[in-house]
């Protein structure tokens, strides 16, 4: 390409300069022709207008005209009309606009015509607008001259119509350029004449704004390039016409030449130049091809063959370019060295690619699980509450009560499944505290011994000093339970499960290992064990969410899982969690008993929830507690409802359209600072509690909730509101 550009650049530049020069020359010539033509046309037209002015002045001095003697005026006007070819009609009108006499007979008045009104107003030679003459029926421009008495008062007005078809005669005297067009427009931008005639550009058509802007500029005459009214690109020469220098223009004349005609010679030269450039490029290209084949193409094909073979696993192929001393030889030798090391790097890449795909799959499924959990939480809330209420309102032996309890039991199982999906999504709300893993494992052993078969031995090895991490104890228990149950299922007959914990201070992590002497796993099974819904158990005996949930929980805690397994020799799952250097959490103090009020004694509750089913359910529970309830599907409406009411309690979803629940509470407390708040959400994201949307200590209900949990939460908030300060 460098050779090609070096050869062709001077040729391209020369031809380009020549083409540009030809276009510039043709442009200047076309502009000069169009401007000269429009000036010649308007000069001849202006001369006829001056002649018409002089004619009207002579007529204004004739006694019969001044005295308005109709019969004599008719004869005079008729004789003058016949001898003046560019006049379509001559007439005399009284100051009232009534026509006294005209060379073309007719019953008409002129009191509304601009030329007549301007003559009365200015007492000078005046011009009218483009009209179709009332006497002639022809397109015309009228000129007028007032006939004044000795004191300068208007006695009558002489008028003459200038037939625009007269321009046919004017054009015939001119040597217009080939393809030229004459356009005349009035001061309002209406086309009043075009030569030659056109099917679209007719008298009365409005000028286009971009053309009007050009002719209304500072210059009285000039040239420009634009698209004409007929949609053709043209070179324009224009001139504005005024009766007197101080008057506004009353006529705009344009002579235009189509660009294809104006640049015909330049286009021919450009075509010749293009052919010449193509020929030169062909010669240069042939030379380049011959050189490239020898020095580039064949070596590149050799390198490409090496790359293809390497891509197919054939690492024995070499480029054959190692003897060349130029840059291509250097590339060939580099290729050969690269191929020699590709085999090891291919294997590493496969491993990393598999890990990436697994991580992407888990992330996608996690997002899906989080979304499903949110929607199901909103659906389960009314199902659980209403089935509870229904079972309480019927006898335990009744069919309705029995079915309601069955619905509640099924809903509770669904809630448990959703909790697993929360762990899978790695977005469940964690309640972190400082945990000693030694104590967690010790308290867990009794449960495990009752769960695992008696012919399986449980071995526990923990260090003598605390092993502290920041974790959610409930979630850690779930992880251990899943791993130990899986280990027990992998053991056929007698076996052993070992649970070991230790610290790795140098790496800043605490480790827990769960080992079994079970059947072990092959590589394919080991690769897929953390996939959601993958299970090796028989159909109906496993959901495939156990290990996926374990992975989600550990990763949400900032940890990792390592798996080692050999078929027939058991498996080892090793958990790594960040070490914590603080103190262990103290045992929780027993909670103070809270008195549950029978009713809320008529307090006002404001309920803001965008899910219709959840809103209806929460409103029912509040009313059963004795609240008066104001309901709103979105925060702005809730604020409007609160005006004029004493709101004791706000129950709001966290994430809603317009503003979130905490913001709604802040806005409400600006006018009602006593209002307590309970927030609820079906979302599982930690952002609900940990990223600033809810302040610490805020009352929060995770959907789905039971009636008892709801009542307890409301009771706690009411009790806190009644406690004396300090």
Q: At 296, phi and psi to the nearest 5?
A: -125, -55
Q: Under a CB-based contact definition with an 8 Å cutoff, are residues 211 and 226 in contact?
A: yes
pLDDT tens-digit series, residues 131-160 = 877 777 778 889 999 999 988 899 999 999
**What would the DSSP string read from start to end of 407-429?**
HHHHHHHHHHHHHHHHHHHT-SP
SS3 of the chain: helix, strand, coil, percent, to 5: 50, 20, 30
Which range, of 70-79, 80-89, 416-425, 486-495, averages the lowest pLDDT?
Answer: 416-425
Q: Under a CB-based contact definition with an 8 Å cutoff, are residues 160 and 89 in contact?
A: yes
- Report d(CA 370, CA 655) in Å as an integer: 15
Q: Judge whether residue 329 has pLDDT over 50.
A: yes
Confidence of residue 565 (pLDDT cuts 50, 70, 90): very high
Q: Judge whether residue 685 has pLDDT over 90.
A: no
Q: Which one, of 126, 164, 122, lies nearest residue 143 by Cα?
A: 126
Q: Under a CB-based contact definition with an 8 Å cutoff, are residues 23 and 15 in contact?
A: no
- Report d(CA 579, CA 536) in Å as an integer: 34
Q: Which one, of 385, 390, 472, lies nearest residue 437 by Cα?
A: 472
Q: Judge whether residue 344 has pLDDT over 50.
A: yes
Compute the mean pLDDT over every residue in the chain, rounded to the nearest whole number. 82
Q: Judge whether residue 384 has pLDDT over 70.
A: yes
Q: What is the pLDDT of residue 359?
A: 54
What are the C-alpha distances in Å from 85 to residues 63, 75, 81?
Answer: 25, 17, 7
Q: What is the pLDDT of residue 593?
A: 40
Confidence of residue 692 (pLDDT cuts 50, 70, 90): very low
Q: Which one, of 433, 480, 432, lies nearest residue 460 by Cα?
A: 480
Q: What is the pLDDT of residue 725?
A: 43
Could you tell me the strand order of the sheet in which 251-258 lies? 191-195, 181-186, 251-258, 233-241, 221-227
Examine residue 19 and say whether the peptide bond preceding it is cis (omega within 30 degrees of 0): no
- Report d(CA 48, CA 86) in Å as an integer: 8
Q: Which one, of 125, 150, 80, 133, lies nearest residue 250 by Cα?
A: 125
Comparing 504 with 308, the larger pLDDT belongs to 504
3-class DSSP state of 294: helix
3-class DSSP state of 143: strand
- Report d(CA 583, CA 708) in Å as an integer: 35
pLDDT tens-digit series, residues 24-48 = 887 888 888 888 888 888 898 899 8
| CA 146, chain centre distance (Å) | 68
- Report d(CA 701, CA 719) in Å as an integer: 17
pLDDT tens-digit series, residues 617-651 = 999 999 999 999 999 999 999 999 999 999 999 99
Token pair in block for residue 328: 């291509």
Q: Under a CB-based contact definition with an 8 Å cutoff, are residues 388 and 706 in contact?
A: yes
Q: Judge whether residue 470 has pLDDT over 70.
A: yes
Q: Under a CB-based contact definition with an 8 Å cutoff, are residues 552 and 534 in contact?
A: no
Which range, of 68-72, 411-415, 430-434, 588-592, averages the lowest pLDDT?
Answer: 588-592
Q: Helices 546-556 & 473-490, crossing angle to 10 degrees?
A: 150
CA angle centred on 425, ends 424 and 426, rounded to 5° = 90
Q: What is the pLDDT of residue 571?
A: 95
Comparing 353 with 245, the larger pLDDT belongs to 245
Q: What is the pLDDT of residue 363?
A: 58
Q: Judge whether residue 515 has pLDDT over 90.
A: yes
């Amino acid at each position: 390409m460098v050779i090609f550009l070096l050869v062709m650049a001077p040729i391209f530049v020369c031809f380009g300069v020549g083409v540009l020069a030809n276009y510039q020359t043709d442009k200047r010539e076309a502009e000069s022709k169009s401007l000269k033509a429009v000036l010649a046309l308007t000069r001849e037209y202006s001369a006829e207008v001056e002649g018409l002015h002089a004619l009207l002045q002579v007529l204004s001095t004739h006694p019969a005209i001044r005295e308005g003697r109709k019969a004599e005026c008719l004869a005079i006007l008729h004789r003058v009309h016949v001898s003046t070819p560019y006049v379509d009609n001559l007439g005399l009108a009284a100051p009232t606009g009534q026509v006294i006499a005209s060379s073309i007979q007719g019953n008409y008045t002129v009191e509304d015509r601009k030329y007549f009104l301007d003559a009365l107003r200015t007492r000078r030679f005046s011009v009218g607008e483009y009209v179709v003459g009332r006497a002639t029926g022809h397109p015309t421009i009228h000129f007028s001259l007032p006939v004044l008495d000795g004191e300068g008062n208007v006695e009558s007005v002489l008028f003459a119509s200038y037939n625009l078809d007269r321009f046919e005669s004017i054009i015939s005297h001119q040597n217009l350029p080939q393809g030229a067009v004459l356009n005349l427009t009035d001061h309002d931008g209406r086309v009043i004449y075009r030569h030659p005639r056109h099917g679209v550009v007719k008298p009365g058509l409005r000028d286009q704004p971009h053309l009007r802007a050009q002719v209304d500029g500072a210059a009285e005459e000039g040239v420009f390039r634009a698209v004409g009214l007929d949609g053709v690109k043209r070179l324009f020469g224009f001139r504005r016409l005024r009766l007197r220098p101080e008057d506004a223009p009353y006529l705009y004349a344009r002579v235009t030449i189509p660009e294809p005609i104006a640049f015909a010679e330049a286009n021919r030269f450009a075509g010749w130049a293009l052919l010449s450039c193509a020929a030169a490029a062909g010669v240069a290209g042939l030379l380049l091809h011959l050189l490239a084949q020898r020095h580039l193409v064949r070596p590149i094909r050799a390198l490409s063959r090496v790359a293809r073979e390497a891509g197919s696993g054939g690492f024995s192929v070499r480029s054959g370019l190692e003897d060349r001393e130029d840059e291509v030889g250097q590339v060939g030798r580099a290729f050969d060295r690269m191929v020699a090391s590709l085999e090891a790097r291919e294997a590493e890449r496969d491993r990393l690619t598999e890990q990436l795909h697994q991580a992407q799959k888990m992330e996608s499924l996690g997002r899906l699980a989080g979304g499903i959990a949110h929607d199901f939480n909103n659906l389960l809330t009314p199902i659980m509450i209403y089935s509870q209420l229904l079972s309480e309102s019927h006898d335990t032996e009744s069919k309705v009560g029995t079915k309601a309890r069955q619905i509640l039991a099924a809903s509770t199982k669904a809630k448990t499944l959703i909790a697993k999906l929360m762990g899978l999504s790695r977005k469940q709300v964690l309640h972190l505290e400082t945990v000693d893993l030694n104590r967690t494992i010790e308290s867990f052993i009794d449960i495990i011994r009752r769960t695992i078969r008696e012919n399986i031995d449980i071995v526990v090895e923990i260090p003598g000093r605390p092993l502290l991490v920041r974790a959610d104890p409930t979630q850690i228990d779930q992880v251990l339970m899943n791993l130990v149950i899986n280990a027990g299922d992998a053991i056929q007959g007698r076996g052993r499960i070992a649970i070991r914990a230790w610290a790795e201070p140098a790496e800043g992590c605490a480790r827990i290992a769960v080992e079994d002497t079970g059947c072990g796993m092959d590589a394919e099974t080991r690769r897929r064990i953390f996939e959601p819904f993958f299970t090796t158990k028989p159909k109906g005996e496993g959901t495939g969410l156990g290990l996926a949930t374990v992975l989600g929980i550990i990763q949400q805690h900032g940890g990792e899982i390592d798996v080692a397994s050999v078929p027939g020799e058991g498996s080892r799952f090793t958990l790594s969690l960040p070490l914590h250097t603080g103190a262990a959490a103290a045992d929780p103090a027993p909670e103070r008993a809270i008195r549950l009020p029978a009713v809320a004694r008529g307090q006002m509750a404001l309920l803001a929830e965008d899910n219709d089913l959840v809103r209806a359910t929460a409103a029912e529970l509040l009313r059963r507690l004795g609240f008066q309830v104001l309901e709103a599907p979105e925060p702005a409406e809730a604020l409007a409802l609160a005006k004029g009411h004493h709101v004791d309690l706000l129950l709001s979803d966290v994430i809603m359209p317009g503003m979130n629940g905490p913001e709604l509470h802040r806005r409400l407390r600006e006018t009602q600072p006593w209002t307590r708040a309970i927030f609820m959400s079906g979302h599982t994201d930690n952002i609900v509690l940990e990223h600033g949307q809810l302040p610490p200590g805020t009352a929060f209900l995770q959907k789905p909730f039971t009636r008892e949990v709801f009542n307890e939460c409301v009771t706690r908030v009411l009790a806190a509101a009644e406690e004396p300060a300090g």
